Amino acid sequence: MNLRVEREELEHKMLFDFATFADSNLGRKNPEEKCPLRTDFQRDRDRIIHSKSFRRLKHKTQVFISPEGDHFRTRLTHTLEVSQIARTIARALRLNEDLVEAISLGHDLGHTPFGHSGEAVLDELKEGGFSHSKQSLKVVDFLEISDKRVGLNLTEEVRDGIVNHSGDNNASTLEGKIIKFADRIAYINHDIDDAIRAGIISEDDLPKHLIKVLGDTSSKRINTMINAIINKSYGNPIVEMQDEVYQATMELRQYMFKRVYLDDVVKSEEVKIKRLLTELYKFYEEDLDRIPNNHLNIYENHEDKGEIVTDYIAGMTDTFAMKQIKNIFIPKGWSI
CB 178 within 8 A of CB 86: yes
DSSP track, 28-92: BSS--PPPSSS-HHHHHHHHHHTSHHHHHGGGSBSSSSS-SSSSS-BHHHHHHHHHHHHHHHHHH
Rounded distance between C-alpha atoms, residue 82 and residue 181, angstroms: 9
Q: Tens digits of per-residue pLDDT, 7-66?
A: 999 999 999 999 999 999 999 999 999 999 999 999 999 999 999 999 999 998 777 665
- 3-267: CATH topology is Hypothetical protein af1432 (1.10.3210)
**How far, CA to CA in Å, does 308 sit from each of 143, 159, 283, 288?**
10, 22, 13, 8
For the chain, the structural domain boundaries read 3-267
* Residue 275: strand pairing partners: none
SS3 172: coil
Give residue 65's pLDDT: 62
Give residue 186's pLDDT: 96
CA 268 to chain centre: 24
Give residue 1's pLDDT: 66
Rounded distance between C-alpha atoms, residue 167 and residue 7, angstroms: 34
DSSP track, 155-168: BHHHHHHHHTSSTT
Give residue 96's pLDDT: 98
Cβ-count burial 29-52 (b if 16+ within 10 Å, e if not): eeeeeeeeebbbbbbbbebbeebe
Give residue 335's pLDDT: 64
Give residue 320's pLDDT: 94
Q: What pTM was computed for the model?
A: 0.94
* Residue 129 backbone zone (phi > 0: left; psi -120 to 50: alpha; other: beta): left
Rounded distance between C-alpha atoms, residue 187 and residue 256, angstroms: 10
Give residue 64's pLDDT: 61
Give residue 61's pLDDT: 77
162 Cβ contact partners less than 8 Å away, ≥ 6 residues apart: 103, 106, 107, 109, 133, 136, 137, 140
Give residue 331's pLDDT: 82
49 Cβ contact partners less than 8 Å away, ≥ 6 residues apart: 105
Residue-level length of the chain: 336
Radius of gyration of the chain measured on its C-alpha atoms? 21
Query: With bands split at pLDDT 50, 70 and 90, how would you rate the model's confidence at 116?
Result: confident
The mean pLDDT value of the chain amounts to: 92
DSSP track, 189-243: HHHHHHHHHHTS--GGGS-HHHHHHH-SSHHHHHHHHHHHHHHHHTTSS-----H
Q: Tens digits of per-residue pLDDT, 62-113?
A: 776 655 556 677 899 999 999 999 999 999 999 999 999 999 999 999 999 9
Closest by CA to 44, choosing from 117, 193, 153, 185, is 153
183 Cβ contact partners less than 8 Å away, ≥ 6 residues apart: 82, 104, 107, 165, 166
Give residue 181's pLDDT: 98
Q: Tens digits of per-residue pLDDT, 232-267?
A: 999 999 999 999 999 999 999 999 988 887 777 666
Q: What are phi and psi of 130, to 5 degrees?
A: -140, 135
Query: With bands split at pLDDT 50, 70 and 90, how would you rate the model's confidence at 212?
Result: very high
Of 67-76, 184-193, 227-236, 275-284, the range with the lowest mean pLDDT is 67-76
Q: Angle of helix 75-93 relative to helix 97-106, nearest 10 degrees?
A: 160
Q: Please give the biggest Cα pair distance in the chain.
A: 75
Query: With bands split at pLDDT 50, 70 and 90, how would you rate the model's confidence at 164?
Result: very high
Give residue 145's pLDDT: 86
